[in-house]
Amino acid sequence: MKKITLFLILIISYSVAKCQLDQGTWLAGGSGNFYSYNDTKNYSTSPTTNEHLEGKYTNVQISASIGYFIVDKLGLGLRPSFTYLKGYDVGQSTINSRKFSLGPFARYYFLNPEKQYNILADIAYQWGINQSFSTKGKYNNFSLMAGPEIYFNSSIGLEILMGYGSNEETLEGSYSDKKKGFLITTGIQLHLRTL
């Protein structure tokens, strides 16, 4: 009986779902993404010697979003993130690193809020620290994504975004790494109206 009641509540809430995209609404949520890419690295081992390595990597990132709709359908805010990277350089050993970052984001919803879904575009840039083994450095991340957000009720939506991602990181000792590629993000967003 409990399962049937829960199922009916979900169906009813979905059938009347629309989201709050009005000015003054808070946006809070989280997402995770999976990023698979090929990588090119350049090392300066001495003033006259450079090494070039290629590898394949898997990147998992968890982000939170805290924002505010400054006008209808346009939200701005901050996005802290944690990233874990594991990969293999051709001819080298396995690499493990952790990155912590924070930066602004902006998102715009294209459709009217009366629908059970909406299409949005999200752009973000983050700065942070990079730690690989005992070495520290700098990290930045850019993403431009778009996709649907499906609403369960007026406050909760599930988003599935796809787009372009670009990262650049450095470590002490003349190490730099640039990567770019296809990005998929899924997440839950809360749209909270202030009284």
**pLDDT value for 124:** 96
Instruction: Enter the pTM of the model.
Output: 0.72
Phi, then psi, of 13 in degrees rounded to 5: -65, -35
Neighbours of 111 (CB within 10 A): 15
Query: pLDDT tens digits, residue range 46-68?
Result: 666 677 777 888 888 899 999 99
Start-end of H helices in the chain: 2-15
| Lowest mean pLDDT, pick from 1-5, 79-83, 127-131 | 1-5
How many domains are there within the chain? 1
Q: Which residue has the tokens 């006008």?
A: 71
Task: Tell me the pLDDT band of 36, cut-offs 50, 70 and 90.
Answer: confident
Query: pLDDT tens digits, residue range 152-185?
Result: 988 899 999 999 999 898 888 777 888 899 988 8
**pLDDT value for 195:** 64
**pLDDT value for 11:** 45
**pLDDT value for 24:** 92
Q: Express as a percent the part of the chain with pLDDT over 70.
A: 83
Angle formed at CA 106 by CA 105 and CA 111, multiple of 5 degrees: 145
Q: Which domain holds residue 132?
A: 2-193
Q: How much is the mean pLDDT over the chain?
A: 84
**pLDDT value for 14:** 44
Task: Report the CATH number at residue 168.
Answer: 2.40.160.20
Angle formed at CA 122 by CA 24 and CA 34, multiple of 5 degrees: 130
Residue 146 has pLDDT above 50, yes or no: yes
Query: pLDDT tens digits, residue range 6-28?
Result: 544 454 444 444 568 899 999 99
Q: Which residue has the tokens 């997440």?
A: 187
Cβ burial, residue 125 (10 Å; 0-12/13-18/19+)? middle
Distances (CA, A) of 64 to 61, 79, 115, 189, 193: 10, 5, 25, 9, 19
**pLDDT value for 52:** 72
Cβ burial, residue 117 (10 Å; 0-12/13-18/19+)? middle
